[in-house]
Each structure stands twice: as C-alpha cells, then as structure tokens.
Structure 1
C-alpha cells in the first residue's frame, strides 16, 4: 500500500507540476504514511519535511467556527443570535440572519468585492499580481484593512441578495470576516489572540502563524510559486505572499503538516485531545454534520464539508490562494486523519486526498455513474457568460452537443449526468439554476454561485 500511495502522490505532482508538497496520513493519531515531494525552495533545492510551513488558506475557516463554538459553550454567544445584534453597524443584512448563517455561507450574500479589497494592498506590492489575477488593480479600492472597513464597503456594495437566510449556499469570505468581528466582541480580545491562546498553544502548534511578519525570523518556510496565465501554464517563483489586512478569520493561517495533523485530532477524538476538552462531543458533532446542501453536491457544515467517497464519509476543508493549495480531512469511522499542503495555487488537493483514502480503505465505485445523451436543443439554454461578482467569470460554450467551460485560457469539457447537472474532469460538478419560467439564471461551480449575465 505504501508504494502505491507514493506512486499516487508522485504521479499527482508530475501531472500538476507541483514545486513542493507534503502529505501525512495518521491512524488513531499515529502517523502511518508520509510523503514529501519536490522542494520548499526549488532554486536552492531545499527539502520539505513535517515542519515546513506552507499557507493553508481557507482551512483557517474551521479554526474560526471552532472558536465560535467554544464561545457558545462558554455562554458568551449563541449561534442562533441575530447577526445584527452583534454588528449594529452592518446595514446590509437580512432580518433573521443568524450567526449560523454566516458559518454555513447561507446569509444570502452574492459575490462581493468587499473582502477582496483587503487583499489589494499586498497585491499592489506584488509585481506579478496584475497578471496572476488577470485584472488591472485599482489603487483607489485598496482601502479595506479592518473588518470595520469591510462593513462600510458592504453597506455601499450590497444591493440585493440571492436568497433568504438559509436558502442558498454561496461561499462568502465576507461572512467569515464578520465572524471575526463577533468573536472579538464576545471574547473581549483580538481574534488572533483568542485562537492562539485557546487552540494553537494548548495543542503545541508552534509552527502556525497568522502573518508573514511572524514567519520572517523563522526557518523552514516554503517559497511560493504560480502558473503563468497562458496556455503553457509554466511554473515560476513568485515570492510575495498575499494578505488581507487585519482580517484573519477567512484564510490567513500558515502552518506545517505536523501542526495541521495535530489540529485534526480535535475532530477525530470528539473534541478532546490529551485530556483537554476543546469542545464537548455534541458541539463537535454539530460542527461536523451537514447543514446545507447545494444543487451540485456541496455539503457544508460549520467551516467543514462532508464528502462521500464510495460510501465512506470524509469531513474536511481545503484552501487556495496565491502560492497555496491545501486540504485536511477526517474519516472518523476508520480512525483516519489526512492532510496535504503545497506551495502553488490551483491544485486539486481534495482529489489527491480522495484517491489516497480510497487506496488505504480499498474503496471503489459500486456502479458507474449514469450519463445523459445531451442534445443541442436541450443544452443551448446554458450557453452564456456567468459572473461570481468577485472578479471571476466563466463562459459556457456548446460544441458538438457537448458543454464546455472557458475559464481564462482553460477549456474544460463536461459530461451531463442529470437535468441541469454536469460532471467535470476532476470529479466535481456544476449545476445550473432556473427561475420559475424555466430560464437559466445562474450556475453553481466549486463553492460559488455565478449569475448568468444578460446578453
């Protein structure tokens, strides 16, 4: 099995030309497999080990929801509290929106630029950013540093909602930034201080940081890399990390594979590690269970997703930003925890985790997924341009009775498996939404909802 998994990892790194990758798998808390491919610094040929620090991006979100659940157990807040009661300055929020809705990305917010504007200052300092983001950067918009700044932008930017609270899933970094604000109000301390003192330090996670400045004096930190935004997609060294001002709760953490595996023990052991209880078992179950299901198969809990791998449930979360592709997961029934960290974005680390788990547990599909015979008349209605509202656009094209996605220079073929549902080559799905008249009005892809643009 070890040799087969090493081959899976090596082939994966070759396919995606990954500069450096770390993977660990543990059984009941004991590391059973680990793999380190490539380098933390390609030019210097510096190796990767269990203590090499990578970005983890949105894995951070589970730290945020864990903090919220800890504050609920301490009686400082309740996830059914109305958000408006905690953030009275937030004007653009629907009545009935609870903390729970922020945690599950179901507050009804469409794609916004408010959180992204917190990244702009670091992007302006990065000579590669305009090319990597594929858009010119407006210096005048780089005015968001704090959550309070972001709230002011939201009050100006939000003009409608995609659904009532709890109705629709749409991944929202703004929602998780608002959770930072609530965490600070409820705890009476900085978000970073609370997470350090209540999670990182008790677990001994001394290779985990919120900012680049914290890492500057440390050793064994990865360099970061990117793909060129053309058909060649060449890998190049692009050393500037992107930050989001003083907003940390959506994706700021950097960590080592050893530290992330240590963190996963909280979830594997029902909230208690080495005799210290972080959450009671009931709160931990609530955090890990599915709270919302999207039309394209996303099952989201509180900062964690549920995946079905040929009958086994994997609970986890990934992350991606410049220089980062990450994933962590738990297969509680098998006592497995697993994590993958890389030093380049746009790598399907989730797919590697699924393949590794399937190999360890000897899982295979029971039945071949059905396909539909797509006809031009049935699928032409999907053709058009779709916009996330965050700067991401996808063109849907029809060629030879097949639906394709055009994302920048990528041309992605799909396979129709049901009405409004198509499978992608990476085994994920897209789903189209229609209004009451049957008109296609939007598309779910990845974790986001894209509105169809009028011609």
Structure 2
C-alpha cells in the first residue's frame, strides 16, 4: 500500500507535466515538419529550453548529402548574423573594462574615417550610422573569395556615400558590425577571433563554437546547401574574412544555450551593461525603434522577446528568448532554402502557452 501511495503521489506531481511535455513535443514536431519533411535533404535542428534546461531538442534531415549522414542535435552550424550578438557583447565587455564607451566617435580610434566624428559606436551597434552596407555594393563580388584583413574590409566601404545622417533612421547594416569587429581589435590588441574565443567561448564553456572556416576539420560540421531547379547543390564559397564580425561564427544549439544562460547569469556583463544590450533606443526625432545592441527587441502577443536570425550561403538561423518566462527557442538550418524564422516564432508562441507557469523546480 505504501508503494502504491508513493506512485500515486509521484503521478500527481509529475504525471501532468509529463503529459504536457509529450503534447508539446507532438505539437512542435507538427510545426517543424511543415517545412522540414524531406528526410533525404538538408534540414535543421531545433531546441526549446525552459529555465536554462532543454525540454525539446530534435534534428531533421541530413548533415551531409554526399555521405548520407543524418543531422544530430550536436552538429555545428554557421550562425550568420547571430554573430552580431557576440560582437555587441564584446564591445560592452570592453566598455565595462573602461577601454571604450559606446558614446565614443569612430574618429577616436580611426582618425581618417569619413564623418567619423559624428558616427558613434552606439550608431554602429543600433544600425543607425548611415554608412553604406557593403553587402549592397556591386563590387562585393570582387572580394568575396579574397582573404581580407579587417582594415581592408573597412577601407572597402568607408569612402562610399552615406545613406543618411547618423541617428536619422534604422537600417540593418552589416558594415557597421564589421567596423565594430575592427574596433575590438584596435582596442583590445587581439584578433577578433582570439578575443571571442578567449573572453567568451572559453569563459562560457562553448567548446563546440568557432570562427568559421571551410578548410579546418571541424568535428560534427553540418555542411551547407542551396536549392536550385536541378536540386540541392553545395553552398557558394566565400572567404569568412569578408562577413567577419557581422556573420562568421559557428556553433551548436547546446553551446548557444550556454551563451543564453551566461547572459542571464551576468557571467560576461554586469547588470548595467546587460540593460544596454536589451534596451530600445530612439532616433534623432525621438521615434523609438525595436533594436538594442545585437538583438531585435520585440514581443509575442505583447510578451517581450529578444530575437535575432542569420543568413549566410548554405545556412539560415533564428533564436527567440522570452525573458519573462525564461524560454529560449533556437532553430539552425543547413540549407538556405529552409528559413527557421517563422517556425521558431511559431514554436516560441506555442512554448509560451505550454510552459508559462511551470515552476523552476518541476522535474
């Protein structure tokens, strides 16, 4: 009788949550399989974490079409513009150390930068600088496969006519984040790759995260693909020194959860600097826009979120964090024919419904 009583009590406290988890898994599978139903093609990996721990993680499709290897949740993906989160936090870490200020003009570090006395680090972080985005330049094809130093990249776009005066409007801009990577090198005295690895990856325990390379042997790499009329093809090759600090990092869903948890626990930034990353800012005319430092500041059904995606040849990525409920949803795809953006948003909406109110100490 005692054993039956114990089983009954355990069912009361864990049974409903188990059923809820099963329902969540089935619902999420249904959402993902809308777009990731080709078992023999490239696919993606998805994770939902609640209170810092995974409650759902699955892989769909192939990691390598030539070898027929299935994707797993441990595969390494190129992050694309999710790299901007790391660049922004690196800048804030340097500010925290007193080595720079986000209010500093670019001219303080690059004396000959055009209009550099009016463009601040804050403008670069918030995509409000007005400088020409190099990804929109026709001459980009001339350098796409060349090894470029950060200075060469900055010189490539710095003399282009500006699109607007600093602070006049928000316009998503990769060049601004390349310039931020160059500033990180100038201020820290370290290469961007070394700074991110030594001060972020190593400190957080992100052992499966890298500065991207097509030449290095990277265990568990997911290969990138594109889809043409004839079928899937290997991704277009670029030199990662071109996207640089705007889009050249690689990681896994597990490492990205470590990253999110480190931000929550103020392991890298204190409260004041963290607040700067996740605040909304205003244009010169007082109009507020929905971007902080490296994250879009949005909402799901009026519940605040922090979001960012990425797109680079062969890969698309997206992550949504709901701070009020400590829910983190991430999707990484190894074909730029599959965008996880809407799926991740739909999953986050569903997870919010399923997981809201679940206690931290629930099994």
With normalisation by structure 1, the TM-score equals: 0.67
Residue 177 (structure 1) shift: 1.0
What SS does the corresponding residue of 1:362 show, helix, strand or coil?
A: helix
Distance between the aligned counterparts of 1:330 and 1:192, measured in 2? 26
- What secondary structure is seen at the aligned counterpart in 1 of 2:122? helix
Equivalent pair of 1:53/1:255 in contact (CA under 8 Å): yes
Which residue matches 1:278?
Answer: 268
Map of 2:17 onto structure 1: none
Tell whether 2:92 aligns with 1:69.
Answer: yes
Q: Provide the rounded CA distance (Å) in 1 between the counterparts of 2:192 and 2:239.
A: 16
1:152 to 143, 149, 155: 155
Task: Give the SS at the match of 2:169.
Answer: coil
Aligned length: 327
CA distance in structure 2 between the partners assigned to 1:168 and 1:245 by the alignment: 28
C-alpha offsets along residues 53-78 of structure 1, whole Å, 9 cap, x if unaligned?
11111100010000000000000000
Which residue number in structure 2 is paired with residue 303 of structure 1? 294
Cα-Cα RMSD: 2.6
Q: Hey, which of these two has a bigger chunk of helix by percent? A: 2
Structure-1 residue corresponding to 2:16: none
CA deviations 1:390-449 (Å, max 9, x no partner) are xxxxxxxxxxxxxxxxxxxxxxxxxxxxxxxxxxxxxxxxxxxxxxxxxxxxxxxxxxxx
Structure with the higher strand share, 1 or 2 = 1
* Distance apart, 1:310 and its partner CA: 1.1
What's the offset of the Cα at 1:245?
2.4
Aligned-pair distance for 1:162?
A: 3.0
1:34 is aligned to 57
Aligned to 1:105: 127
Q: Is the 8 A contact 2:135 2:174 kept in 1?
A: no
The worse-fitting range, judged by mean Cα deviation, of 217-226 and 352-361 is 217-226
Residues 58, 250 of structure 1: 8 Å contact kept: yes
Is the Cα contact below 8 Å between 1:104 and 1:292 reproduced in 2? no
Separation in 2, partners of 1:43, 1:237: 10
Change (3 A) 1:41 1:167: same
Counterpart position of 1:224: 224
Matches of 1:344 and 1:261, distance apart in 2: 22
CA–CA distance in structure 2, aligned partners of residues 337 and 69 of structure 1: 22
Partner of 1:265: 261
Asked if structure 1 preserves the Cα contact closer than 8 Å seen for 2:110 and 2:116, the reply is no
Alignment of 1:16-415 (within 5 A): 19-90=42-113, 92-93=114-115, 95-112=117-134, 120-121=142-143, 123=145, 145-156=148-159, 158-159=160-161, 161-212=162-213, 216-228=216-228, 232=229, 235-239=231-235, 241-245=237-241, 248-267=244-263, 269-271=264-266, 277-292=267-282, 299-362=290-353
Report the Cα distance in structure 2 between the residues aligned to 1:120 and 1:3, rounded to whole angstroms: 48
Using the alignment, how far apart are the partners of 2:250 and 2:279 within structure 1?
26
Q: CA deviation at 1:13?
A: 1.4
Return 53-62 or 240-249, whichever deviates more: 240-249
The runs of 4+ residues in structure 1 deviating greater than 6 Å are none
Q: By how many angstroms is 1:168 displaced? A: 0.8
The TM-score normalised by the length of structure 2 is 0.82
Cα displacement string for residues 322-381 of structure 1 (whole angstroms, at most 9, x for unaligned residues):
101001221011111121100111533221111001112229xxxxxxxxxxxxxxxxxx
- Deviations along 1:288-332, one digit per CA (max 9) or x if unpaired, are 1222589xx971110110222112122021000110100122101
Cα distance change, pair 24–361 in 1 and its aligned pair in 2 (3 A): same
* Aligned-residue offset at 1:256: 1.2
